């Protein structure tokens, strides 16, 4: 990844929207400013859900244009300026990797099962093996990071690294999920239970992935509600200040 290109959270959202709309609604791409604002504030396929003003998005677009990540065009016969992304040229990704990067920009860290299911709306990835094959060069290029499982989960997660602001909280959560090593002075009896617990019944891979998705959907709903409450509290505070 070009070392001089580092996106903030707004830039990550704008870039993700431009990629998404090119892959899902190519007849409406490049996007007008109105369409781009609507895409940034879209309530489905977004985490967190935002409420950005046109001035916010316009300022974010200008930053991306200055870094050559986004370009503007004036289609023939139209006076409306439209915007497109340069992700393929700048970050050397295409096909399934472009769709994966888009999904990580729009939703944050995700486990393999949910990432594959969500990318399917933009590019077909039939198996987890195909997903891992696409992720490997992205990890090597410094575009994506593999995170350890969260507490209570067995699946790793993946996060994009174009926006350190988005990646840092996920990395911190991953570090907290790593258990501390046993102290050398701790008694062996404290580390080993007297009676081993019964092993859980085996489940198929498909059942495991389905359970993962259900758990993650619940976690995402809880996190989204917390962010919405924080945003409401912030908005109320601004109104009171005014």
CATH number at residue 141: 1.10.10.10
What pLDDT was estimated at residue 220? 61
- Dihedral pair phi/psi, residue 25, rounded to 5°: -135, 65
Total domain count, the chain: 1
Residue 187 lies in a domain: no
Residue 37 lies in a domain: yes
What pLDDT was estimated at residue 42? 97
Residue 198 lies in a domain: no
- Dihedral pair phi/psi, residue 71, rounded to 5°: -130, 160
Q: Name the 3-class secondary structure at 147.
A: strand
What pLDDT was estimated at residue 229? 74
What pLDDT was estimated at residue 5? 82
Mode of pairing for the β-strands spanning 70-73 and 82-85: antiparallel
What pLDDT was estimated at residue 97? 98
Residue spans of the chain under pLDDT 50: 171-199
Q: Give the list of residues 6+ apart from residue 29 with CB closer than 8 angstroms, or none.
A: 18, 21, 22, 84
What pLDDT was estimated at residue 164? 77
What pLDDT was estimated at residue 12? 97
Scanning the structure block, which residue is given the tokens 């065009």?
73
pTM score of the predicted model: 0.70
Residue 14 lies in a domain: yes
Distance CA 64, CA 15 (A): 8
Q: How is 170-209 classified by DSSP, letter by letter?
A: HHHHHHHHSPPPPPTTS-HHHHS-SSPPPPPPP--HHHHH
206-214 long-range CB contacts below 8 Å, 24 or more apart? Answer: 209/113, 209/128, 212/111, 212/113, 212/114, 212/153, 212/155, 213/113, 213/114, 213/117
Residue 138 lies in a domain: yes
Domain of residue 131: give its range: 9-176+208-241
What pLDDT was estimated at residue 207? 55
């Amino acid at each position: 990844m070009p070392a001089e290109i580092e996106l903030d959270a707004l830039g990550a959202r704008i870039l993700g929207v431009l990629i998404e709309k090119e892959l899902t609604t190519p007849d409406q791409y490049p996007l007008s400013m109105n369409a781009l604002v609507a895409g940034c504030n879209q309530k489905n396929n977004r985490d967190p859900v935002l409420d950005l003003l046109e001035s916010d998005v316009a300022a974010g677009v200008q930053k991306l244009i200055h870094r050559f990540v986004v370009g503007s065009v004036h289609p023939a016969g139209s006076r409306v300026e439209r915007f497109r992304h340069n992700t393929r040229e700048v970050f050397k990704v295409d096909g399934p990797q472009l769709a994966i990067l888009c999904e990580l920009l729009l939703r944050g860290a995700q486990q393999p099962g949910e990432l594959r299911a969500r990318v399917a709306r933009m590019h077909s990835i039939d198996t987890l093996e195909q997903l891992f094959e696409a992720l490997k060069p992205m990890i090597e290029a410094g575009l994506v990071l593999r995170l350890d499982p969260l507490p209570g989960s067995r699946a790793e997660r993946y996060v994009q690294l174009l926006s350190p602001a988005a990646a840092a909280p996920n990395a911190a959560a991953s570090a907290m999920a790593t258990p501390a090593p046993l102290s050398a002075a701790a008694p062996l009896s404290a580390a080993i239970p007297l009676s081993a617990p019964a092993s859980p019944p085996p489940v198929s891979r498909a059942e495991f992935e389905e359970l993962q998705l259900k758990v993650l959907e619940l976690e995402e709903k809880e996190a989204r509600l917390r962010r919405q409450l924080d945003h409401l509290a912030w908005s109320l505070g601004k109104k009171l200040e005014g």
